[in-house]
Amino acid sequence: MDTPETPLEPDGTLIIAHRGYSGIAPENTDVAVDLGAASGAEYVEIDVQMASDGGLVVMHDTTLSRTTNAPLTYPARAPWNVGDFTLDEMRGLDGGTWYGFSGDPGNFNYVGEPVPDLRTILDTLRDRAGLLLEVKSPDLYPGIEAAIAAELESAGWVMNGQPMQPLIVQSFDWGSMATYAALHPDVPIGLLGNPPSEDAVWNDISRYADAINPSHSNVDQATVDEIHRRGFEVSVYTVNDTTRAAELIAMGVDGIITDQPARLLLERDRELSPSGAFELGNPEITELSGLAQSTRTPGVFWALNDSGDAARVFAFDRLGRSLGEAAVRPAFNLDWEDMASYATDDGHFLLMADVGDNDAIRPFVNLYIAPEPELMPATGSLTVSTELTVVYPDGARDCEGVAVDPEERAVYLLSKRDPLPRLYRVPLDATPVLPTTAEYLGEITSLPLPNTGQLEPAGSITNVSPTGFSISVDGRHALIVTLEHSYRYTRQAGQTWLDALNTTPEIVDVPDYAQIESGEFIGSGPAFLIGSEGSPAPMFATSP
């Protein structure tokens, strides 16, 4: 037997996106496969069948009635068997509209999504994620094994019999897998179903198979141990519950097939912390100006872009993998420059700070507060529950640093273009309808002088101008981010934040990124995360 090549360390449990990211997109479509790869799943699983003209189509059901508009397009061709249609006929069907009726009611974002052929999926996944290819109902399609082998070779996924990309082929039809293995003996083979009970069967399948992949409901520790003892790997289907996933990971399963890969990746990697330099996986995050860690889901972070982007926020995990995005409504991104998260007895909240004012001309700035969503990935929209309109008592100010102290029920704002940064405070409970005048607390004198050796006039940007500000969830630490260094403060018992920020900070060296404009603590600190503008957005996590 040949062991499947995987992107993870050998002891890791692979997360496999079932029919693509079918938890948030119509199954077995190109968009679902694309999202599955983007989620960070190591493999994406699809189902392959054969058209009447020998083409290979990606489809789970053996009829087209559930997930396409075939009954409307071809009303006289019931029962709409896959094998009765040509590949071109199926590629011309709508494979996405159904999702808004039954898959995710009301979500009609995928209207018109076509039914893909196998080559489309191979091109989408190339160099991004492995492929777990299930041969569906091969008894209906004589010769499908040879057709799949030929397509994998034509697409460059298999060359001279060797897989060039992470690849596993599986089926409930074990005879079909013996047939396929004879064509590509070095491609890993999975057998769907329960492990055999007879030694003779074990001996037979050991000639060509590498994995036994049963339903998770039929798996316990003894099952996993027996499969491993026999020299096979084991991947289970279909698991969406994180508690069950944790149990299976503890049992040592080699893979978990799931409709919700991002959710299970969080569970699998929940003990990991960001470390060193990495990049954000979402290419939409290019003008990163604010970071906030989730107070609801450990290991999740939020980000936003500054002016020029829509009013939206992005979620990502400890390794920078995208967890989706959500629009913020009603809200407008004039110049979003920071964000914060906090939890109170009222729930978990995200604060988006529209406080940028390069020319100091805005008569007021806005703080948008919305409940943090419970489930990952982020989809749809966040509804603003409170919008605070803020006026400075000493005239307009440019600000890129905003933090929340939930114990005080206060928002702190730190100015950027003053010779000495100015600290302001706004009550979280301020009246939303009327403008609130921020309380001026004083200047921050603890930052070193700019590289020029002297204070610069108002309106200037220097290497010590604050571009981000954060308060740790336990209220013990504060972070001021600048373009050059980051400054970490420890607050003593009884100290105000103004007093704490005027003590000598710990200067933390961070990479020389192009435009560092965001920072956030990891957990309760003192380790923190900084991020820069860029595509992909570069990130750096300090050690505790």
* pLDDT single digits (tens) 296-350: 888 899 999 999 899 999 999 988 988 889 999 999 999 999 999 999 999 999 9
Q: Which two tokens stand for residue 125?
A: 């996944």
CA distance 355 to 343: 22
pLDDT in tens, 437-494: 999 999 999 999 999 999 999 999 999 999 999 999 999 999 999 999 999 999 999 9
pLDDT reported for residue 7: 37
How far is Cα 46 from Cα 486, in angstroms, rounded to an integer? 46
Is the separation of the CB atoms in 251 and 214 below 8 Å?
no
158-168 b/e (C-beta count within 10 Å ≥ 16 → b): beeeebbbbbb
**pLDDT tens figures, 356-408:** 999 999 999 999 999 998 766 767 789 999 999 999 999 999 999 999 999 99
Nearest-10 Cα torsion for 516, 520, 332, 296: 150
pLDDT of residue 376: 65
458-469 burial string, b = 16+ CB within 10 Å, else e?
A: eeeebebbbbbb
The angle subtended at Cα 265 by Cα 261 and Cα 268, nearest 5°, is 135
3-class secondary structure, 153: helix
Interatomic CA distance for residues 173 and 166, integer angstroms: 22
* CA–CA gap between residue 175 and residue 482 (Å, rounded): 63
pLDDT at 208: 97
